[in-house]
Structure 1
Amino acid sequence: MWTKHHKERKLGRFVLPLITVAFLSYFGYHSVNGELGLIATENFERQRLDRLAELQRLTDKRQALERQVQLLSDGSLEKDMLDEIARYQLNVAREDEIVIFNNYF
């Protein structure tokens, strides 16, 4: 006949659930707030969109500069373009002209 020499503890049945809750809490917290969690992913996405907009702005600026270089160096130097650049660089205008600066250069 088997007899039990010790009382069964009531805390014994809570050990496994407590370990499970601790395990899930740890990984749940780090999946939201961790280095690669949901909040960090939102920050990465925001940075990506900002940098994409900056790339688009720089690409447009580069294309505008390439168009100007092409107009100046295609063999048939356009007098209008040369006049525009000279006036901008020297800050010169005639008395009957209205000057609007767009910061092309």
Structure 2
Amino acid sequence: MVSRLEALGLSLLVLYFAYHAFAGEKGLGRWSDAQLELEDRRAVLGQLEADISRLQTDIRRLTPGSVDPDFVEALARDKLAFVYQNEIVLMASDRSIAN
């Protein structure tokens, strides 16, 4: 039979490990937080990969020898505000309205 002191010691030991299993530095609470952070970072990674893919496509369209004239014209109109002589330009106070 187990004495009361041994039972108390064993109970305290079990409580100690149970506490650290749930609330410790590497416990279940931290694990669930790490899973949420992992999901957020995967979403950011997906966005960055999409941006990289888009930029690689733009680079291919601007590579000497295979320049896409329509893309160059679109860039000049968007970034440099180029227009043809016979075009009418409407100015908007908020840029988001024009897009």
Residue 88 of structure 2 aligns to a residue in which SS?
A: coil
Measured against aligned partners, the alpha-carbon deviations of 1:12-57 in whole angstroms (never above 9, x if no partner) come to 9310110010000000000000011000000110011100000000
- Are 1:91 and 2:84 an aligned pair? no
Q: Which structure carries more relative contact order (alpha carbon 8 Å, separation 6+)?
A: 1
d(CA) in 2 for partners of 1:32, 1:81: 56
Corresponding residue of 2:16:
26
Q: Which of these residues, 45, 48, 53, is aligned with residue 63 of structure 1?
A: 53
d(CA) in 2 for partners of 1:63, 1:20: 59
Deviation at residue 96 of structure 1 after TM alignment: 7.2
Corresponding residue of 1:103:
none
Change (3 A) 1:96 1:89: closer
The TM-score, its normalising length taken from structure 1, stands at 0.76
Corresponding residue of 2:62:
72
Question: Larger Cα Rg: Structure 1 or Structure 2?
Answer: 1
Structure 1 stretches lacking a partner, 5+ long: 1-11, 101-105
**Paired amino acid for 1:36:** K
d(CA) in 2 for partners of 1:49, 1:18: 42
Structure 2 stretches lacking a partner, 5+ long: 91-97
Bigger fraction of residues in helix: 2
Q: Runs ≥4 in structure 1, deviation > 2 angstroms? A: 91-97
Residue 77 of structure 1 aligns to a residue in which SS?
A: coil
